[in-house]
Homo-oligomer: A and B are copies of this chain.
Amino acid sequence: MANQLSQLDQVFAALADPTRRAIVMRLCAGEASVGELAEPFEMALPSFMKHIHVLETCGLLQSEKEGRVRTCRLSPEALLSAEDWFQHQRAIWEARLDRFEAYVMKLKKERAAAKRPSKTTEKTTNKPSKRKGA
């Protein structure tokens, strides 16, 4: 678990760099050699290789060398574990909002019960639009 967190550090740090995100995006479309991957970037190969190595270290990328060409492919587990982090946070966040909303509803009801005849005209609580991947 503590190890997990440290892996998250690495994955997020890796994805914080636009070059590396581009590599990941490229690899989502299929495997490629280092040369093919490097070609769109105006960067010396050794610099580029560092990015490859970072991605490989944090588990986002796998590669193997055949002859003199190294082929890279995405290894999705790390990507998925990072995505899971977001989903987990969002779950907590949304649960809290639901609880809060319930609380507000209860308050409203109580207040309405307290001064029965007068209608309490409050602004509608802005509930934050449920999202797709929920």
Contact = CB atoms under 8 A, between A and B. Distances in A.
Interface stretch (A7-15, A41-49, A63-71, A118-126): A7-15
**For the side of the interface on A, what is the size category?**
35 or more
Contacts of A131: 80
Interface string A113-134: 0000000000000001001110
How many copies the complex holds: the figure is 2
Nearest to A86: B83
B82 A30 contact: no
A21 interface: yes
A90 interface: yes
A83 B92 contact: no
Nearest to A17: B9
A104 to B, nearest CB: 14
A95 to B, nearest CB: 9
